[in-house]
Structure 1
Amino acid sequence: MSESLPVRLNHDRLHDIQTRASLEATDSFPVLLHNGDAPVHVHLHLDDALSAVASIPANNHFVDADSTRQVSVEIEDGGPRPVEGQLKIVTGHGAETDYVSVTVAEPDEEDGVAVDETLAERSGGDAEDAAADGTDDSGFEFPDVSVRRNAPVAVLGVFALAVAVGSASLSDSVAVLAGALAVLGSVVAAGYLLVR
């Protein structure tokens, strides 16, 4: 956003307007209405040249005593540049009038952020290197990926084996014992396939 335009109201006398003679802006800017010790009505108006590239949401503003009101002058992107025009400031329903010459200029090239092709390149950072060699900055070694992926299956196998052994020891049935041996064989086979 461009620099603001300060406007002092009711400073020396009632309805008095004090502001800069000119302002150069590259984009939208705020008009700061600093009021003195009496409430005032302020009318802001853009001439035809400025109205082609800028707008004010509302033209009439009430500013209370000893307060500041900010009014934004919105400048459209992509409009013709440069444009010169007048911002008209009126107080007290026409009691005082002042003009500010406003120039809407092209934005400086350095206002934007320069991005070159190296920003899009993926950096081979330390985290990737650490993941590749299986360590992090603290020297901790990560388990092999296959072990981490198969850990839930191994835990379920151990749980199934514990249930089978518990059932076989609590029951005097030959069928339960045969089932426990079948579970034991399945867990051993699954463990062999996981490790392979």
Structure 2
Amino acid sequence: MSENLTVHLNDDRLHDIRTATAFEATGSFAVVLNNGDAPVHVHLRLDDELSSVASIRANNHFVGADTARQVNVEVEDGPRPVDGQLKIVTGHGAETDYVSVSIVDPEESEETVAVDEALAAPAPDRDRDDDADGGLGGVDPDLGANAPLAALGLFAVAVAASTALLADSAVVLVGVGAVIASLAAAGYLLVR
């Protein structure tokens, strides 16, 4: 979404409108209605040129005292640039202001991303059966990094088994079974 167009209402006097005289957007944008100390009805209208590529879901808006309201202007694909007028009316016609709006093409981005040439080389094949694995005979060299986890798992199985032997309860046996099943699944995932 492009930058917002801010409109100040009721700042100096009742139904007063203060905003930029011109606004430029590359796509959809919001009209932010910042209201002062009195509630106000605001009517927003796009002229024919802007209506060819943009639309406002509702034209009439109530903005309470000391509040802000955002009205989205949806910009569709179409010819660019498009220049037109946004009409802003307060107090049922008491005040009217216009903003010259230009819908332009987004500038072409010249930003590039640096890519390391090492990314172009294919990844090493982990399924090879040659001696590139350090003579481990097809064993994954990362398996040694999982040895502490495997030892902890074996310790948990030993504790679970000894608890099952000492306790004579069906609940404990179900718990021990769950621990052993969880450790078996974790072991499978480590070896896989």
Q: Report deviation, 1:82.
A: 0.8
Report the TM-score when normalising by structure 2.
0.61
1:35 is matched with which residue?
35
Deviations 1:73-117 (A, max 9, x none): 11002x011111000000010000000000111111118x7689x
- Alpha carbons 1:23, 1:102 under 8 Å: kept: yes
Give runs of aligned pairs for residues 1-196 of structure 1, distance below 5 A: 1-77=1-77, 79-110=78-109, 123-124=120-121, 128-129=123-124, 131=126, 141-142=141-142
Quote how far apart the aligned CAs of 1:32 are. Answer: 0.5
* 2:72 counterpart SS class: strand
Query: What code does the residue aligned with 2:59 have?
Result: N
The structure with the larger Rg is 1
Distance 1:18 1:134, change over 3 A: farther
Alpha-carbon distance in structure 1 between the residues aligned to 2:133 and 2:10: 73
Distance 1:34 1:8 in 2: 5
Distance 2:65 2:7 in 1: 14
Distance 1:114 1:58, change over 3 A: farther
Measured in 1, the distance between the counterparts of 2:56 and 2:10 equals 23
Unpaired segments ≥5 residues, structure 2: 135-139, 144-192
Q: Give, in angstroms, the shift of residue 8 of structure 1.
A: 0.2
For structure 1, list consecutive stretches of 5 or more residues without a partner in the other structure: 144-196
Counterpart code for 1:24: E
Q: Secondary structure at the match of 1:58?
A: coil
TM-aligned CA deviation for residue 122 of structure 1: 6.5
CA distance in 2, matches of 1:134, 1:9: 74
**Whole-Å separation in 1 of the counterparts to 2:54 and 2:112:** 27
SS in 2 for 1:110: coil
Do the aligned partners of residues 134 and 66 (structure 1) sit closer, same or farther apart at CA in structure 2, a change above 3 Å counting? farther
How big is each residue's C-alpha offset from its partner over 1:4-50, in whole Å with a ceiling of 9 and x where there is no partner?
A: 10000000000000000001111011101000000000000000010
- CA 1:66–1:134: 2 relative to 1, 3 Å: farther
Does the Cα contact within 8 Å between 1:8 and 1:17 map onto a contact in 2?
yes
Letter in 2 for 1:23: F
Give distance in 1, aligned partners of 2:23 and 2:87: 13
Query: Any idea what SS the aligned residue of 2:141 has?
Result: coil
Moved over 2 A (4+): 113-116, 121-125, 128-135
State the secondary structure of the residue aligned to 2:109. Answer: helix
Please report the TM-score for the alignment, with normalisation by the length of structure 1. 0.60
